[in-house]
Amino acid sequence: MKIATWNVNSLRVRLPQVLRWLDTHRPDVLALQETKTEDRHFPVTEFEAAGYSAAFCGQPTYNGVALLSRLPMEVFAAALPDFNDPQKRVLAAAVGSLAVLNLYVPNGQSIESDKFRYKLEWLAQLNLWVTALLDKYPQLAILGDFNIAPADRDVHDPRVWVGQVLVSEPERAAFRQLLKHGLRDSFRLHQNGGGFYSWWDYRAAGFSRNQGMRIDHILLSPALAERSLATVIDREPRGWERPSDHAPVMAELGR
């Protein structure tokens, strides 16, 4: 089974790239973030023609998440429970015996801002929810744009990012707290080195110079981690015409 995540930074713009990637890789489930698409405009027909059913929770201009699946899918959440938030950042579904939680974690803007406090509160509520999810769904995969580089090896030059969001200690502590539930960073199950990134700034030739960060993750429950065969970051779409600034990340699970 293949599950994947991709922040597409506007599905309206990136739909041809997504369809091209699906045709090549055929994941069983693809989690999309930053669709920036109202539900009434979601391209259901195009994905059905490609062999995928779609579940989506969107809004114009900002945020928005979606799940595409080749298998029967039943949505069970479209928001963090007990957290009043109009932003569309969460979508969870059961896909067979698997539970898939698609997240677009807030960016945080700057560590002095209200948006950073909102991010930490959001992550704290997510942590509480994960406890309940793992009790109910032993085979749980959490995918998405976490907007957190977990360690210095996940940043092209940590010195440049000191004191900024995505790398701050409170954010990294929140990420570690999720792992304390037994969740495993699937990429790090297979690759320990640095220099692997999933996001590159559009500015200053960030991609061609490989000045990026690994902020898109697939976390696996203990039961799924035992089935993990591989996790890869597919850099190719980042080099396509009009690309997202993120690359897809895909995990393969054995039976």
Tokens of 118: 């909102």
Beta strands in the chain (DSSP E): 2-7, 29-33, 53-57, 65-69, 74-77, 90-95, 98-104, 140-145, 184-185, 199-200, 212-213, 216-220, 228-233, 249-253
Residue among 28, 137, 145, 245 flagged as catalytic = 145
Specify whether 104 is catalytic.
yes
- Give the other-Cβ count within 10 Å of 81's Cβ: 12
Residue among 28, 52, 104, 137 flagged as catalytic = 104
- Give the other-Cβ count within 10 Å of 197's Cβ: 24
Residue pair 1/252 in contact (Cβ under 8 Å)? The answer is yes
Specify whether 52 is catalytic.
no
CA distance 184 to 178: 9
Task: Show which residues are catalytic.
Answer: 104, 145
